[in-house]
Chain A
Amino acid sequence: MKDKRLVIYAVISVVLLLSPLFLNAYWVDVLNNVGLYTILALSLNIILGHAGLFHMGHAAFYALGAYTTAIINTTYHIPILWLLPVSGLVAGLAALVVARPIIHLRGDYLLIVTIGFVEIVRIALVNNVFGITGGSNGIFGINRPILFGWKINKPWEFFYLIWGFAAVTIFLFNRLENSRFGRALNFLREDDVAAEGSGINTAHYKLIAFVIGAFWAGMVGNIFAAKMTIIAPESFNFWESVVLFMIVLLGGRGSIRGVILGAFLVLGLPEIFRQFATARMLIFGAFMVAMMIFRTEGILPPLPRKYPIAKMLGREGSA
């Protein structure tokens, strides 16, 4: 069972890795978008999936990261990839400030406040706050990233940058999930009072979940800015937050593989059915509704964590 799953993962990874060889630039670019949304949704998954916090403002952190990179790169010409952690930090700090007062809000209240947050950020960008965001035209002339002297320019080059970043994210987040930190988020999602009563500082963990999620979204913003070379407020509107929310719910809250599948479905399916024009969104909507009724946990809900219980008991027995 487990072996079969590993084989499937390996096959999918290899096919994905080789796909730029047989796909044209258009489809490689579609996969690049899927990749960006995969990482974004994985970062939202920490907040929404693991901690169960209804956060529908994730595009705001993405925007902060993208604008941080765009502004610093166009004014000081600092290389894009050096700005990767800077974008993460700015978004993470914003989360620290914004999330602290709203962390105790529950469910739908948090949802409304975070929707407000993403709108405030977008309107601030449109209104050219501090005169550095370029208003509704946005910022253009952002440099391409250079990795070990290699200038990343073409879609297939971005493909490997984005999916490389996705692979690192999956690796790290998988470890994060299977740790004291990941468990704490699940405990407070399941029962806030019981978690606190078991000695878990629930407010602190909610805040850290926000900060990590925002940090990662900020980093994705950096890559997005370099990929587009031009960014505008419209790329970070409320709808982007909804799409990310949808990916996590559809794929499976708290499930990395579910979120990846969710990103492929939500971004990939409308592309595949492009010839059906308007009907595709209708079909897609119907599919979403059906999912929410018949598979409320998402398509691929998380698998239970594995602990070497048998091994530990065996060792104790033989000692």
Chain B
Amino acid sequence: MTTLLSLKNLTKRFGGLVAVDHVNFDVEAGAIVGLIGPNGAGKTTVFNLITGNYRPDEGDVIFDNQSIKTLPTHKIVSLGIARTFQTIRLFHKLAAIENVLAGCHCRMQSGSLAAMFRTPTQRREEHQALQTALKELEFVGLQSQADQLAENLSYGNQRLLEIARALATQPRFIILDEPAGGMNNQETAALIQTIRNIRDRGITVLLIEHDMSLVMEACEQLVVIENGAKIAEGDPQAIQSDPKVIEAYLGTDEE
């Protein structure tokens, strides 16, 4: 097993608040890993540190043996890390297909001149991107809604559309921030299968989720953080019976 992502002493402070406190963990290539913890534990902040939306105050983010902590977000995406957002961030006024084409962007080359002169390369690339986008929509089961505006999709489908957009960047690693948020049981069950299918494409998955049934069923490894610090790590069975986790997380949560 090779390590794809490695967080080393990752720390982020917001004023006096230590949102992420010397967090260390590795994600093995090909795994499905869950990052869990109570509200405000710092999970989303960890994601934002990985994708370069925030800069760490201490520590490092190593992806594929390379430090990425100073790279701009779009570079990190083109290296192969894709993400979805906890609060859905689609391009609401644009069609579903265009949202996915946004993901295709970083694997395309044509610039403004090629567009104005509509070179053969540009046209071929556009055609290929459209094919990729349709394929990713099909993968998440939204092909029939390709020309719908993103804002007109159901909440659950908007989450799937974000996943399709992320997949269109052809990532090696995908991070999903509460992908089941707002989904009903049926949708969640289908999502678990989709997550497995993503992994079967050779893409490593790291996800944040409050829905414990999803976490326990889909993830092979869990990392638990509380108040910014890692308090436990292991397979779902071990985590479920870890007294520290029960006290800090499961005990305080009413689910």
* 8 Å CB contact of B134 from A190, A191, A312: A312
A201 at the interface (CB under 8 A from B): yes
A196 touches B102 (CB 8 A): no
List the B residue with the shortest CB-CB distance to A203: B72
- Complex contact A194–B85 (CB within 8 A): yes
Closest chain-B Cβ to A189's Cβ sits at a distance in Å of: 9
Q: A179-B115, A179-B122 are contacts. A312–B102 as well, Cβ < 8 Å?
A: no
> A309 at the A/B interface (Cβ < 8 Å)?
yes
Residue in chain A with minimal CB distance to B149: A304
Binding-face segment, B38-46, B87-95, B184-192: B87-95
Closest to A302 in B: B93
Q: How large is the interface on B (under 10, 10 to 19, 20 to 34, 35 or more residues)?
A: 35 or more
Q: What does the 1/0 interface line of B161-175 toward A look like (CB < 8 Å)?
A: 000011001000000
Q: Is the Cβ of B74 less than 8 Å from the Cβ of A199?
A: yes
Cβ-based interface call for A102 (8 A): no
Q: What residues of B have a CB within 8 angstroms of the CB of A172 in the complex?
A: 116
A interface residues, how many (CB within 8 angstroms): 33
Determine if B51 and A197 form an interchain contact, defined as CB atoms under 8 angstroms apart: yes
Question: Could you tell me the distance between the alpha carbons of A309 and B130 in the complex, rounded to whole angstroms?
Answer: 8
- Known A175-B118, A182-B115, A190-B93; judge A198-B102 contact (CB<8 A): yes
Q: When the two chains form their complex, are residues B118 and A183 in contact, meaning their CB atoms are under 8 A apart?
A: no
Residues of A within 8 A of B134 (CB): 309, 312-313
CB of B131 within 8 Å of the partner chain: yes
Residues of chain A within 8 A of B143, CB atoms compared: 313
Q: Does A4 contact B (CB under 8 A)?
A: no
* 22 A-B pairs with C-beta separation under 8 A: A175-B116, A178-B115, A180-B108, A181-B111, A182-B115, A183-B98, A183-B101, A183-B105, A187-B102, A191-B89, A195-B102, A197-B51, A197-B73, A198-B102, A199-B105, A201-B74, A212-B112, A307-B130, A308-B130, A309-B97, A309-B146, A313-B143
Q: Residues of A with Cβ closer than 8 Å to B?
A: 172, 175-176, 178-184, 186-187, 190-191, 193-202, 208, 212, 304-305, 307-309, 312-313
Known contacts A186-B98, A200-B105, then 16 further A-B pairs from the complex at CB < 8 Å, ordered by chain A residue: A175-B115, A176-B112, A179-B126, A180-B105, A180-B108, A180-B115, A182-B115, A183-B98, A187-B105, A196-B72, A198-B105, A199-B77, A199-B82, A304-B147, A309-B97, A309-B146
